[in-house]
């Protein structure tokens, strides 16, 4: 294996990259993407993919997102469930986040709650009780369920582990 080798497939091996250009406005559901998604336009709705999503500096997504990795230079308003998110300078996430790895660079903004997803698919930390229907909807969307544990109180188990 070479120094720069990766076990990840390229976008062309996965099925291509979908690009939403600046000025485009789309409402609806993205559920059967065969590769990465890059957004420079406006998307309102649900994105549920096993691949990566990137949002350019002019890109906006309002709704629910479930993806492998998210790279954010634009704006997300809504809920995100992913393995890793990177908020770059100028990027802004307003909403709830369920993820394992969270990177926010100087100039990036996050306004909301983060729930940490571990290797085993459990949510480790909750900043408040999940009594509201909005939080329960986020957990359901992320493929998590609430279970009881004598040691930790409430535990959230991953029902549908994300593919790597």
Q: Give the whole-angstrom CA distance, residue 81 versus residue 83.
A: 7
Q: 116 near 125, Cβ under 8 Å?
A: yes
Pairing of strands 144-149, 153-158: antiparallel
**Is this structure's pTM higher than 0.95?**
no
* pLDDT tens, residue order, the chain (164 aa): 343 334 455 444 567 899 999 999 999 998 888 899 999 999 999 999 999 999 999 999 999 999 999 999 999 999 999 999 999 999 999 999 998 899 999 999 999 988 877 666 555 544 343 445 555 666 666 666 555 444 443 334 444 444 43
């Amino acid at each position: 294996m070479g120094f720069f080798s990766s076990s990840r497939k390229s976008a062309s091996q996965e099925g291509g990259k979908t690009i939403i250009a600046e000025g485009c406005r789309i409402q609806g559901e993205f559920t059967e993407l065969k590769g990465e998604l890059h957004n420079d336009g406006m998307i309102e709705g649900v994105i549920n993919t096993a691949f990566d999503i990137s949002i350019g500096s002019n890109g906006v997504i309002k709704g629910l997102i479930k993806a492998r990795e998210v790279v954010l230079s634009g704006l997300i308003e809504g809920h995100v469930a992913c393995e890793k998110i990177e908020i770059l300078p100028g990027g802004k996430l307003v909403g709830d986040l369920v993820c394992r790895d969270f990177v926010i660079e100087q100039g990036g903004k996050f306004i909301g709650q983060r729930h940490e997803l571990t290797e085993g698919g459990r949510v480790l930390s909750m900043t408040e009780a999940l009594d509201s229907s909005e939080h329960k909807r986020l957990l359901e969307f992320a493929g998590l369920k609430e279970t009881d544990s004598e040691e930790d109180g409430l535990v959230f188990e991953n029902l549908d582990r994300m593919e790597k």
